[in-house]
Structure 1
Amino acid sequence: MASSTPPLLLKKPVKLACVQLASGADKAANLQHAADKVREAAATGAKIVVLPECFNSPYGCDFFPSYAETLLPSPPTPEQSPSFHALAAMARDNNIYLIGGSIPELATDPTTQKKTYYNTSLTFSPTGDLLGTHRKIHLFDISIPNKITFKESDVLSPGNALTLIPLPDYGLVAVAICYDVRFPELATIAARRGCFALVYPGAFNTTTGPLHWRLLGQARAVDNQVYVALCSPARDMTAGYHAWGHSLVVDPMAEVLVEAGEGEAIVTAELNGERIEEARKGIPLRDQRRFDVYPDVSAAGPAGAEA
């Protein structure tokens, strides 16, 4: 008789590391610094390593075009995208899965030569192969009077696909970027399609960070009973944009397992598939949903991943 116990979403335990970096104006220096810190994270035994949003450049609309790299057709040349090749080498050299934060991307229409910019995350395998690409879906356009005004859409265009990435040794992860975390539908669809973790490289600021960063990580975890990782840049008060920091990992019961401070740091947490199943057995949301009352957004959502 077949067992009624569902297979674990996370096939075996794994250590995940968030690398909280400070990035300056020198792209080559940023890439080398990231490589050094990824090596340090891998030395802790982490097999999944996450970098922050815009880890290769300063964050800001004034910087996106000048730091943008061409990623398509893939693989790009080293001249087109030094960051792509640096990330591939980091993954390969350290035998890890690397969720490479994000970088500004330039796409040029071959017919019209129109330039389009994206905020894009690349994930690589332990052999240095590209596993998945996520273009930030929800652009950071906010205005809080006397606090912060920012409009990514002045420069960037949004991606149009949910990104689910199989890590063959472990299972499925969802990758999204920063402001994407505020949209629960994205996380719900990803979780109901079998992800063991939701990973968000993000650069919250010192206005919204103290209010919502940890809250949103815990909310996405408790809603979906999966692990959530948020990876921020380190705070640099001399930069034009002040990142909140506080990279963290949350478990399926919304317990914050580890949280960084404001400066550079590497934080690690052990993820275990049994913990996901324990949360889902104890609070059996998966068996209690009322799709006769409200729709299943995972059935109606986008079909696949951007690759």
Structure 2
Amino acid sequence: MTKIALYQARTGIDPARNADALVAAVEQAAAGGAAILFTPEMSGMLDRDRARAAPNYRSQAEDGVLAAVRDAAARTGIWVHLGSLAVRREDGRLNNRAFVIDDAGAIRASYDKLHLFDVDLATGESWRESASYAPGERALVVDTPAGPLGLAICYDLRFPDLFRSLTDAGAEILGIPAAFTVPTGAAHWHVLMRARAIEAGVFVVAAAQGGRHEDGRETFGHSLVVDPWGEILLDMGEGEGVGFAEIDLGHVAEVRSRLPAIRHRRPIPPVERIRG
């Protein structure tokens, strides 16, 4: 049995203040006995005003939020899955990048979001991640104290082929940090997270942004831990804070023995379409 922690944030436009909040969450998670803390997508800054946000983007080597979290992880002796930061590339574009940081403050893995969210919602909201961000180019599973962790970010949730690849590569936990909008969250958040857990018999850990942010957006919250049978072990509802759950990887083997769908996977042949 491994104790994990999730930080549900309401990230603002000032990276320094957000770093302070993350450090406090690391300290709280460590004090609560967690082996690893999971944080949401865009933990370092959420600002949809691109002109205002631009001066705050940094390269990975220069990012003050990343440095603060690495220092806190080393000081408190806890691992951190830093859900993601906006990292400036050499070509001036950005990557939406997740980090797995060990208890010595070293970066064990980083993952760039593969699928970019470009959509016009019925509420009038419009999102164009591809206007600023470049997509990632690799999928990753990394060993952690909680178990082999498959990495994804937010909109990746809607592409089950990614999770099939991660679980084929040995993932027994899926980390899916997010900043879901309220309309899509209310409609799809719980059902998709439970589906990802059920279809492969894995734990899903989804740390989320939640609440009304400084830049005017509102995010859904409801950070989740879902077990391999699809049962919700933790739902943090609305508001900010740190929550805890215990996971047992023995449950993965148990569920997969009861419902061995992952062993029954076969390559899908080319689809034939018969037109009438």
Scaled by the length of structure 2, the TM-score of the pair is 0.92
Matched, 1:27 2:15: yes
Q: Contact 1:64–1:155 (CA<8 Å) still a contact in 2?
A: no
The match for 1:53 among 26, 29, 41 is 41
Q: Contact 1:200–1:229 (CA<8 Å) still a contact in 2?
A: yes
Q: 1:66 deviation in Å?
A: 3.1
Matched, 1:94 2:80: no
**Matched residue, 1:172:** 148
CA separation of 1:117/1:237 partners in 2, compared to 1, >3 Å: closer, same or farther?
closer
The match for 1:104 among 69, 78, 86 is 86
Number of positions where the alignment pairs a residue of Structure 1 with one of Structure 2: 268
Task: Please give the residue correspondences for 1:39-78 in structure 2 after superposition, counting only pairs within 5 Å.
Answer: 39-60=27-48, 62=50, 65-71=54-60, 76=61
SS in 2 for 1:69: coil
CA separation of 1:255/1:170 partners in 2, compared to 1, >3 Å: closer, same or farther?
closer
- Is the helix fraction higher in 1 or 2? 2
**Matched residue, 1:280:** 256
Q: 1:142 deviation in Å?
A: 1.3
Cα RMSD, aligned residues only: 1.6
Q: 1:269 deviation in Å?
A: 1.3
Q: 1:160 deviation in Å?
A: 1.0
Q: Contact 2:13–2:53 (CA<8 Å) still a contact in 1?
A: no
SS in 1 for 2:250: helix
SS in 2 for 1:133: strand
Matched, 1:37 2:25: yes
Q: 1:146 deviation in Å?
A: 3.6
Q: 1:48 deviation in Å?
A: 1.3
SS in 2 for 1:208: helix
Range with greater deviation from structure 2 (258-267 or 197-206) = 258-267
Q: Percent of pairs identical after alignment?
A: 30
Matched, 1:129 2:106: yes
Matched, 1:161 2:138: yes
What residue identity is the alignment partner of 1:69?
A: R
The match for 1:212 among 161, 185, 188 is 188
Distance, in Å, in 2 between the alignment partners of 1:37 and 1:244 is 20
Deviations 1:209-247 (A, max 9, x none): 001111111010001110001111121165422111110
Q: Contact 1:67–1:104 (CA<8 Å) still a contact in 2?
A: no
SS in 2 for 1:34: helix
Distance, in Å, in 2 between the alignment partners of 1:149 and 1:70 is 27
Deviations 1:109-156 (A, max 9, x none): xxxxx3121111111001111101111110111122344321111111
Deviations 1:274-301 (A, max 9, x none): 110110011111333344xx25xxxxxx
Q: 1:99 deviation in Å?
A: 0.5
SS in 2 for 1:209: helix
What residue identity is the alignment partner of 2:54?
A: P
The match for 1:262 among 238, 242, 248 is 238
CA separation of 1:59/1:180 partners in 2, compared to 1, >3 Å: closer, same or farther?
farther
Distance, in Å, in 1 between the alignment partners of 2:167 and 2:135 is 22
Q: 1:65 deviation in Å?
A: 3.1
Q: Contact 2:141–2:170 (CA<8 Å) still a contact in 1?
A: no
Question: Runs of 5+ in structure 2 lacking a partner?
Answer: 270-276
Q: 1:172 deviation in Å?
A: 1.6
Distance, in Å, in 2 between the alignment partners of 1:274 and 1:122 is 26
Distance, in Å, in 2 between the alignment partners of 1:199 and 1:64 is 27
Distance, in Å, in 2 between the alignment partners of 1:289 and 1:152 is 33
The match for 2:161 among 173, 185, 190 is 185
What residue identity is the alignment partner of 2:114?
A: I
Matched, 1:271 2:253: no
